[in-house]
Structure 1
Amino acid sequence: MQSKATTPEQYIKELPEDRKEVITKLRKQLLDNLPKGFEEQMCYGMLGYVVPHSLYPDGYHCDPEQALPFINLASQKNHVAVYHSGIYSDPDLMQWFVNEYPKYVKTKLDMGKSCIRFKNMKNIPFELIGELAAKMTPKEWIDRYEAVVKR
């Protein structure tokens, strides 16, 4: 479900009540933990955390007008999703997350290549998402992106 909101605040305001609190808490974890240099903006109808053109002028290879995406946060129809491009491209980071997840949540991890899905709003490991956000700097993401994704 892509939003037409133009700001993160508008995006959150338009959410159903039960999602506002969850998205707000996840957003806070990301803003509090992302290393300096990432910027928050609306991307593809979701909250986006990107490497801005000022740090990476090439932008996103699929659309160079867009800043380089790193993490997106979205309220989807049946779940809340955290899309983390670094976890998709870094097997060690993926393994760390998969190993840590059961320490926070007793239910099975529901994950795609870069998408972490939360269907039960009571089972979101907010602190773990904050830790995950802190694990890669913009420079590290640019280096990994150019080595693994951009090719």
Structure 2
Amino acid sequence: MKKEWNNSEDYISQLPEERREAVSKLRQTIKVNLPEGFQETMSYGMITYVVPHQLYAPGYHVNPEQPLPFVSIASQKNFIALYHMGLYMFPELLTWFKAEYPKHVQTKLDMGKSCVRFKKVNNLPYDLIAELCRKVTVEEYIQLYEKEAGRH
């Protein structure tokens, strides 16, 4: 059962000490680099950056009461996870990320669909994640989401 935290600071404060700094720096990297319009919240037991209902009223098709998620970060048992829907939805972004990753991290890329897993806290490529976050605007994400979800 996942614990629900009140906010990002609460979430980070309850992490094991060796993960606190890395997740805090990852959070700050994302906050500073995401284009305007995304909003930080707690969702599904993770720190999540969403398209708020005031920008996209239909919300997330899986649960329309939830805002549309874009990026999430979580401290899992064996790794820190970065979930980025842009990697899942924009093939050219995934191609770029896979090509850039080895330039920043010596270990093999460990990912599935939108999830990038970092097993070592000192392996988080903050500069690469910052660049990744800057690549998709709220408008671009909504446009592709509507196309993919069949919402015209």
TM-score (norm 1): 0.97
Aligned counterparts, 1:56-71, within 5 A: 56-71=56-71
Query: How many angstroms does 1:2 deviate by?
Result: 3.3
Query: How many angstroms does 1:3 deviate by?
Result: 3.3
Query: How many angstroms does 1:59 deviate by?
Result: 0.1
Amino acid at match of 1:115: C
Give the gaps of 5 or more residues in structure 2: none
Aligned counterparts, 1:2-151, within 5 A: 2-148=2-148, 150-151=149-150
**Deviation readout 1:41-93 (Å, 9 max, x if unpaired):** 00100000000000000000000000000000000000000000111011000
Is contact 1:2–1:46 with CA below 8 Å preserved after alignment?
no
Question: Structure 1 segments of 4 or more deviating over 6 A?
Answer: none
Let me know the Cα RMSD of the aligned residues: 0.9
TM-score (norm 2): 0.96
Name the % identity.
54
Query: How many angstroms does 1:147 deviate by?
Result: 1.3
